[in-house]
């Protein structure tokens, strides 16, 4: 008799519940609220990257969307004093515009060359923002941005900016929403179309799938969500500079989390972020204060060599065996 594979959605629901409940027992673990909160933000970033990845693209340039979201939001906040949640939603449209330009100019690129082009594409917004001193104060960066606002629900206050616990729950909610969105996309007719064009573009076209349109839609979704992550990042930190938000590091993180977590399963990207980011921050940073990101380089090499499908695939195989 063959065992049915262990339903991974049960596993994921259990994990989500665990992440929601643990602060009740450790109400003062502020370091962990902060680190896990950021892990949730990066998990969302990894999911955003993976939406574009569904079309078969391996982007090495998502920092472009992240940085544009961050700057779009920061500029609206700085000049027009809009409230952060509004600036994040509106400012991320800058990422979408860049996504439109990207999908037009890179429409004929695939695989390795798309990766290379995306790597170079980050330089354009970065250098422009770096040199546009009068608007963005250039490489000095922008400081004094509003923190995330406080929400009043009757007597209950949710200070997303000042209270790390509230911030953690906000980011947890974000990543749960994004996971749900990602799973919905994968299971939808559109997700099927993306899978088809990822596997064989010629055949997908022959089956009536509008290959370029579906790919562009995926990129636009991905860029908006990435921009939102960038905007949140700007207002969580309160300051940004080009070398921070347009860095290779930001482009590398979603790729590494997704490949480590597992490309083939809907919760892979989040799993990667929730495991690796705390490991890097809580274990490696104290050991190697300067070069702790070396961990990520090492992890990606070992993952591709030893578990090319990521650890999510490995876990579900274990769980169903």
Partner 1 sequence: MSITAFPWPQIIVSGFALGSFYALVALGFSLIFGVTRAFNLAHGEMIVLASYLAFVLWKFCQVPFYLTLPVCLLALGLLTLPLYLLLRRLKEPYALNTLVVTFGLALLLQNLMLVLFSADYRLLNSGLSSFTIPGLGLTFSWNQVVLLLLSLLATAGVHLGLHHTFLGKALRATIQDQEAAQISGINVKSMSLIAFGLGGMLIGLAGPLYGQNMYLYPLAGAEATLIAIILTIFAGVGRIRALLLGGWLLGLMESAAILTVGSKWRELVSAAVLLILLYFRPQGISFRKPG
Partner 2 sequence: MDNQTRLCLEVKGLSKRFGGQQVLREVSFSLQEGEILGIIGPNGAGKTTLFNIISGWVTPSGGEVVFFGEKTTDWTPDRLCRAGMARTFQMPQIFPEMSVLENVMTGAWFGQPSPPAAAQARAQSREFLELVALTASETTPARDLSLMQQRLLELARALATRPKLLLLDEIAAGLSLKAVKCLTNLILRLRTQGLTLLLTDHLLNLIMPVSDRLLALDQGEIIAAGPPQEIIHDPEVESAYLGVRDPAGEEG
Min separation Cβ 202 and partner 2, Å: 5
Distance, CA of 140 to chain centre: 25
Element counts in the chain: helices (H) and strands (E): 18, 2
Q: How many CB atoms lie within 10 A of CB 18?
A: 9
**For strand 156-159 and strand 150-153, is the pairing parallel, antiparallel, or unpaired?**
antiparallel
Among 137, 205, 247, 285, binds partner 2 (CB under 8 A): 205
Q: How far apart are CA 297 and CA 223, in angstroms?
A: 24
Q: According to CB under 8 A, which one of 294, 314, 318, 320 is a site residue for partner 1?
A: 294
- Under rule CB under 8 A, residue 203 binds partner 2: yes
CB 103 to partner 2: min, Å: 17
How far apart CA 253 and CA 268 sit, in angstroms, is 14
Q: Which is nearer to partner 2, 13 or 184 (CB)?
A: 184
Cβ burial of 273 (10 Å; 0-12, 13-18, 19+) is buried
CB of 229 to partner 1, least distance (A): 20
How near is the Cβ of 215 to partner 2 at its closest, in Å? Answer: 13
Q: How far apart are CA 16 and CA 230, in angstroms?
A: 23
Q: What is the CA angle 81-85-90, rounded to 5?
A: 80
Distance CA 241, CA 315 (A): 39
Per-residue exposure over 53-88, b if at least 16 CB sit within 10 Å of its own CB, e if not: bbbbbbbbbbbbbbbbbbbbbbbbbbeeebebbebb
Q: Is 252 in the site for partner 1 (CB under 8 A)?
A: yes
One residue of 124, 159, 237, 275 binding partner 1 per CB under 8 A: 124
Based on the shown chain and the rule CB under 8 A, indicate whether residue 117 belongs to the binding site for partner 1. Answer: yes
Position 259 contacts partner 1 (CB under 8 A): yes
Q: Which residue has the tokens 């939808």?
A: 188
Q: Does 123 bind partner 1 (CB under 8 A)?
A: yes
Q: How far apart are CA 20 and CA 273, in angstroms?
A: 17
Our CB check for partner 1 shows the closer of 188 and 243 to be: 243
Our CB check for partner 2 shows the closer of 137 and 212 to be 212
* Of 81, 228, 220, the residue nearest 149 (C-alpha): 81
- 115 near partner 1, rule: CB under 8 A: yes
Q: Cβ 111 to partner 1, closest distance in Å?
A: 5
Quick note: the x/- pattern for partner 2 over 210-249, rule CB under 8 A, is xx--------------------------------------
Pick the closer one to partner 2 by CB: 165 or 309. 309
Among 103, 108, 36, 35, residue whose Cα is nearest residue 65 = 103
Piece of 38-46, 70-78, 253-261, 312-320 that binds partner 1 (CB under 8 A) = 253-261
Q: Between 11 and 300, whose beta carbon lies closer to partner 1?
A: 300
Structure tokens at 112: 């390795």
Nearest partner of 209 among 55, 98, 105, judged by Cα: 55
Nearer to partner 1, 162 or 304 (CB): 304
Stretch that binds partner 2, among 49-57, 103-111, 209-217, 220-228 (CB under 8 A): 209-217
Binding-site ranges for partner 2 (CB under 8 A)? 189, 192-193, 195-196, 199-200, 202-211
Binding-site ranges for partner 1 (CB under 8 A)? 58, 60, 105-106, 108-113, 115-117, 119-124, 127, 130-131, 248-249, 252, 255-256, 259, 288, 290-294, 296-301, 304-305, 308
């Amino acid at each position: 008799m063959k065992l049915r594979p262990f339903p991974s959605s049960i596993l994921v629901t259990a994990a989500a519940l665990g992440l929601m409940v643990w602060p009740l027992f450790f109400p003062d673990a502020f370091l962990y609220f902060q680190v896990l909160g950021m892990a949730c933000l990066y998990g969302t970033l990894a999911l955003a990257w993976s939406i574009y990845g569904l079309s078969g693209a391996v982007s090495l340039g998502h920092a472009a969307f992240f940085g544009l979201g961050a700057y779009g939001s920061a500029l609206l906040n700085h000049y027009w004093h809009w409230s952060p949640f509004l600036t994040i939603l509106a400012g991320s449209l800058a990422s979408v515009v860049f996504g439109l330009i990207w999908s037009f100019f890179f429409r004929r690129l695939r695989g390795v060359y798309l990766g290379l082009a995306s790597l170079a594409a980050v330089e354009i917004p970065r250098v422009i923002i770096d040199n546009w001193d009068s608007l963005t104060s250039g490489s000095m960066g922008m400081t004094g941005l509003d923190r995330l606002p406080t929400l009043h629900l009757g007597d209950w206050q949710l200070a997303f900016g000042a209270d790390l616990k509230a911030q953690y729950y906000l980011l947890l909610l974000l990543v749960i929403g994004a996971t749900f969105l990602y799973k919905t996309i994968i299971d939808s007719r559109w997700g099927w179309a993306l899978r088809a064009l990822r596997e064989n573009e010629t055949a997908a076209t022959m089956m009536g799938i509008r290959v370029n349109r579906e790919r562009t839609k995926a990129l636009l979704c991905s860029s908006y969500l990435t921009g939102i992550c960038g905007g949140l990042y700007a207002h969580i930190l309160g300051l940004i500079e080009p070398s921070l938000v347009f860095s290779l590091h930001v482009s590398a993180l979603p790729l590494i989390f997704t490949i480590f977590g597992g490309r083939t399963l809907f919760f892979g990207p989040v799993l990667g972020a929730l495991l690796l980011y705390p490991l890097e921050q809580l274990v490696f940073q104290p050991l190697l204060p300067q070069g702790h990101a070396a961990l990520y380089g090492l992890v990606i090499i070992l993952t591709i060599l030893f578990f090319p499908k990521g650890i999510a695939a490995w876990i579900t195989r274990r769980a169903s065996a």
